[in-house]
Structure 1
């Protein structure tokens, strides 16, 4: 993971600076660079001058740089990146040009009055982007990732290179991966087969029978005390509610530790 992207200003309730500091601390360990993104909307061509739109881009860049200046960069290359247009379109377009390896998002503020774990924009990015996503709880401080709990229903990994982020994290921190296979009501015999790459990075294995993948994670979370939860992005399963609406309610999912959502399905 050489290119990490951190969007700012996704929600008025999201605390961006703690998430940015986590991303920088994480990038230092992986020897990666960090793109810090904010979008600006170019004025219609019919009623504007190119110099005006250039100024808007420069103002956005200055705004990002002011925020980055408040962060301890720890020797990491941090690039202020103003992007034109809507974030949900601008990030995939930038990814095609620069191969972003990880998108770092933040959960909503830990306020009992706020019902959301992910806001609409963050939820939509998880839902629609092909980039692996790391979701950081608010005010979470970086620490080495030594224990990963990966929850799957099937042992077959369908997307090429989907496991690359996990492999790099395990290699960087010398960590262990516990694989939890959750057998739901629609579990198939073929789900018992395991991808060779997944087997090679698994330190220990356990299975359980639960109504949903998420319930399986909850059941085993406290006995494992992981530093990171890892799941696959699926249109039905762990984030079932996410595919119905973009925002994710805390009653459907909440986490006090980082959550890595890998591309593709399991």
Structure 2
């Protein structure tokens, strides 16, 4: 089945890197890639976009369309997969409104965003475009790719998926994770962090069994760390195993300070040097 991938761009190097990373993930799949530029946004992914004024002979719309055309021309030299199709969306409005409209209109399976620098900073206190997209876009997962990250050539990769087993999952909410695991030949390492070392309740054990059944078609293993701060434990686990990707599940009630049932005072702050896949609670 064809995948539909939405890639917002501000024509930066890190937005281009995200696109190339996406092409690598789906190199053997039929895909439609939608290249999206919101030319009304003055700040996008932490970078100030200079908009050419009409007095300079170019409108913002013309600059946006020209930039998207240049991307298409650059992609025309890449012939990895003839089943890859590309469309452009030049949008006059806010980034999040435009992305949500595209998600709803085109049935997007994944939003793929580039992030400047060597890590994908996910923090509930940040007020930037990545945080806004993660918070506001509904019914679509988001994959954030750090600028300096390239897909490893390893035949065996792994994705770290932390959870507290306190809530159930729908299969369609995990579909992006399962797909990426399959496409990248990557095992999913489910990480439970027992912060108070009390062990799992019967309800948590049942949720663990349910998750194992949902992951039955991919390679999966379960791991536990005890007496550790959630954020620190996730980082240490990723670094010790040289993992390739981090997957987080975001419910609609609040940002990641509530993701693991932590108090609101202790904020979850991820600066992972790997791509981060944000899975969404879906209607």
- The reply to whether TM is greater than 0.5 is yes
Matched residues in 2 for 1:221 and 1:17: separation? 25
The aligned residue for residue 189 of structure 2 is 178
The 5 Å alignment of 1:14-33 reads 15-33=14-32
The 5 Å alignment of 1:72-151 reads 72-74=77-79, 75=81, 76-110=84-118, 120-130=128-138, 131-143=140-152, 146-151=157-162
Contact 1:212 1:238 in 2 (8 A): no
The aligned residue for residue 66 of structure 1 is 70
Contact 1:5 1:34 in 2 (8 A): yes
Gaps of at least 5 residues in structure 1 are 42-54, 243-250
Query: Alpha-carbon deviation of 1:188?
Result: 6.8
Q: Name the CA shift for 1:132/1:212 in 2 (closer, same or farther; >3 Å).
A: farther
Query: Alpha-carbon deviation of 1:32?
Result: 1.6
Contact 1:15 1:106 in 2 (8 A): yes
Cα RMSD after superposing both structures: 3.5
The 5 Å alignment of 1:1-266 reads 2-9=3-10, 15-41=14-40, 57=61, 59-71=63-75, 72-74=77-79, 75=81, 76-110=84-118, 120-130=128-138, 131-143=140-152, 146-154=157-165, 156-184=167-195, 189=201, 190-193=203-206, 194=208, 195-196=210-211, 197-200=213-216, 201=218, 203-210=220-227, 212-234=229-251, 239-240=256-257, 252-264=269-281
Query: Alpha-carbon deviation of 1:121?
Result: 1.1
Matched residues in 1 for 2:150 and 2:215: separation? 30
Matched residues in 1 for 2:222 and 2:122: separation? 32
Count how many residue pairs are aligned between Structure 1 and Structure 2.
240
SS at match of 1:70: helix
Matched residues in 2 for 1:150 and 1:238: separation? 17
Contact 1:179 1:202 in 2 (8 A): no
Q: Name the CA shift for 1:182/1:30 in 2 (closer, same or farther; >3 Å).
A: farther
Matched residues in 2 for 1:35 and 1:168: separation? 19
1:171-196 per-residue CA deviation (whole Å, 9 max, x = no partner) reads 22333211111224598722332225
SS at match of 2:27: helix
Gaps of at least 5 residues in structure 2 are 41-58, 260-267
The aligned residue for residue 264 of structure 2 is none
Query: Alpha-carbon deviation of 1:140?
Result: 1.4
SS at match of 1:24: helix
Query: Alpha-carbon deviation of 1:224?
Result: 2.2
Q: Name the CA shift for 1:217/1:238 in 2 (closer, same or farther; >3 Å).
A: farther
Matched residues in 2 for 1:206 and 1:236: separation? 26
Q: Name the CA shift for 1:226/1:161 in 2 (closer, same or farther; >3 Å).
A: same
Matched residues in 1 for 2:234 and 2:159: separation? 12
Matched residues in 2 for 1:188 and 1:237: separation? 24
Matched residues in 1 for 2:183 and 2:14: separation? 27
Contact 2:118 2:148 in 1 (8 A): no
Query: Alpha-carbon deviation of 1:58?
Result: 5.4
Contact 1:6 1:103 in 2 (8 A): yes
Q: Name the CA shift for 1:187/1:137 in 2 (closer, same or farther; >3 Å).
A: farther
TM-score (norm 2): 0.71
